[in-house]
Amino acid sequence: MTVEETVRQTLAELQVTGEEAVRSAFAEVRSAMEQERQRIIREGARDETERQMIAKTMRDRWLARKQGLLACVDENWLEKAPPELKPVVGRQFNELRRKVIASCEVSGLMSEIPLMEEPAGAAGTTASAARRTAAPGAARVQVTDLTLPGYRRPLGSLHPVTQVQREIEAIFLGLGFTIETGPEIESVYYNFDALNIPESHPSRDDWDTLYIDSQTLLRTHTSPVQIRAMRKHGAPLYIIIPGRCYRRDNPDSTHSPIFHQIEGLAVDTHITFADLKGTLDFFARKFFGEKTRTSFHPSFFPFTEPSGEVAIGCRFCEGKGCRICKQSGWIEVMGCGIVHPDVLRHGGIDPLRYTGWAFGLGVERYAMMKYDINDIQLFLQSDMRFLEQF
């Protein structure tokens, strides 16, 4: 009886009734598998493709989920074993499975199956097949061609958002800032109250924020880390805060419920808006190129006073006006401002002695500008055709 026929019957049908008989039935299956394996190694393969095909066939024959020989043993022997034999059949089955998995793994098999040299002038398949059946194991030379390329394991690369994040971090690290991080699951206090965002502010709405319960949420910005860092380190403080943030936004080409921000915070004595402008202007020139012009416009954020928005001269039209800059010649790239005294107070810092500035930017937006990407969703789709370009 072949091994296929054996494993398609139950132990009862095979008249295996005692523990000793169970062990020898499993031993037969193991030895059939081992013989098959030795046979394909002995016979070798003509080329890489055939070698791979042989290895895969062996693996599928034994390990296919449906109708694989191991699956048949599971179904016919283990599941249908009488209760008194279950423990021994179970142990034997586990042992067999370990052995089959170890022996029929494709890359392992492929490394053992030798490539055979064609006899000079032979027209290939027929001669080689004839020789194979005629004299197994004989008159065959195993060659290893050292000039063949090895198995190529593709190297991964950093996600474009991570690349841009690191690039921005490097600029600020060079200015003496340090990196600070904080939890993505945040309390309402740190995310809103401590940042001077009152209960009535629209960003606290259920429709804008992903709440876990009434006091806990997925942070909507990296700003809570400002408070945490001020409390931890006190002043003076020069930090940037990269991290993932969440908002209840419907995904479209410019919105995503998950996105990355980088915030900066500088707290020291005698910090003025001029320090903020100088630093961000330096950053913009480092990131977007030395010729980049920056422009500061007044804006409003609850946690800074005064607040501003930074725009850079449009790189696509060089300020003449185009579709991307909406004909204005400028593209907004971040929000910034002088830290509100109440925020310093929440951070445990005396606003009469210290002042500070802060900024926040969206990393995806920078990556989109840098690489001219028109859809933010591409960052999250894990499409290799997209990711391989970076």
State the binding string over 229-268 for Zn ion (x if CB under 5 A, else -).
Answer: ----------------------------------------
- Structure tokens given for 378: 């591409």
CA atoms within 13 A on the CB side of 115: 13
Among 314, 334, 361, 369, binds Zn ion (CB under 5 A): 314
Nearer to Zn ion, 106 or 324 (CB): 324
Can you name the residues that pair with 246 across neighbouring β-strands?
Answer: 258
Stretch that binds Zn ion, among 47-55, 95-103, 285-293, 317-325 (CB under 5 A): 317-325
Is residue 193 within 8 A of residue 181, CB to CB? The reply is: no
Q: Any contact of residue 325 with Zn ion (CB under 5 A)?
A: yes
Distance CA 266, CA 264 (A): 7
Stretch that binds Zn ion, among 101-109, 132-140, 315-323, 342-350 (CB under 5 A): 315-323
Output the CA angle 98-102-106, nearest 5 degrees: 140
Among 14, 322, 380, 387, binds Zn ion (CB under 5 A): 322
Distance CA 316, CA 36 (A): 65
Q: Any contact of residue 16 with Zn ion (CB under 5 A)?
A: no
Is residue 71 within 8 A of residue 65, CB to CB? The reply is: yes
Number of residues that bind Zn ion (CB under 5 A): 5
Output the CA angle 312-327-274, nearest 5 degrees: 25
Stretch that binds Zn ion, among 17-25, 141-149, 257-265, 324-332 (CB under 5 A): 324-332
- Structure tokens given for 203: 């960003």
Among 21, 171, 317, 380, binds Zn ion (CB under 5 A): 317
What minimum distance in Å lies between the beta carbon of 308 and Zn ion?
21
Question: Which residue in this structure is represented by tokens 């003449």?
Answer: 320
Nearer to Zn ion, 257 or 319 (CB): 319
Where does this chain bind Zn ion (CB under 5 A)? 314, 316-317, 322, 325
